[in-house]
Amino acid sequence: MLTHPTLDQLRALKLDGMADAFVELQNQAQAADLAHAEWLALLLDREAANRNTRRFQVRLRGAKLRHGQAAIEDVDYRTPRRLDKAVFQQLVAGKWIAEHRNLLGTGPCGIGKSWLSCALAHQACRDGYTVLYARVPRQFADLELAHGDGRFTRLFRTLVKADLLILDLCGVGSYVE
């Protein structure tokens, strides 16, 4: 297949979503019936979707979630953990994050608090929030070490800058009475 100069320019400008859509439209017979404005709209839509997807993936990778595949769609409300569906749906909306409010999840070991917090974090990443997941014992050790090697300011700034900081007490149960 010969490369089209427009396709080369799109790739050079890092408009990969538009370039992919351009190739697809070129290969579709019914695309010849589209007006220039319709072509342009389709290319722009694809580029916007591609950029949104990449930003989401960067936020999700940066969150370092323990349960990276946890999603709110997979929450089972029938399990005996006394999870109020209406309250959880309000949490999913994310208004509490926008208002800089805190959330404390409590309950016995093994009922899925970490998984639920990761599901909320996943949704927050979808909604455009930056998230950071940290296990408390490891985070405290990192902070202590950072004091010694001069990284404390940078590490602390990373913690403070996140829209949603999840501190998981996993493994701390033996220390808490």
Show the DSSP H helices in the chain as ranges.
5-12, 16-26, 36-63, 85-93, 95-98, 113-126, 136-149, 152-161
Q: Which uninterrupted H or E stretch holds 135? A: strand 131-135
Residue by residue, pLDDT tens for the chain (177 residues) are 456 888 889 999 999 999 999 999 888 888 888 888 998 999 999 999 999 999 999 999 999 999 989 999 999 888 777 888 899 999 999 999 999 998 888 888 888 889 999 999 999 999 999 999 999 999 999 999 998 999 999 999 999 999 999 999 875 554 443
Q: Model-level pTM?
A: 0.79
Positive/negative CA dihedral, 65, 69, 74, 79? negative
pLDDT tens figures, 85-119: 899 999 999 999 999 998 888 888 888 889 999 99
CA-nearest of 131, 129, 160, 128 to 143 is 160
How far CA 177 is from CA of 86, 136, 172, 173, 174, in Å, comes to 31, 16, 10, 8, 8
Q: What is the pLDDT of residue 173?
A: 54
User: Rounded to whole angstroms, how far apart are CA atoms 137 and 22?
Assistant: 50
Q: Which uninterrupted H or E stretch holds 166? A: strand 164-168
% pLDDT > 90, the chain = 63
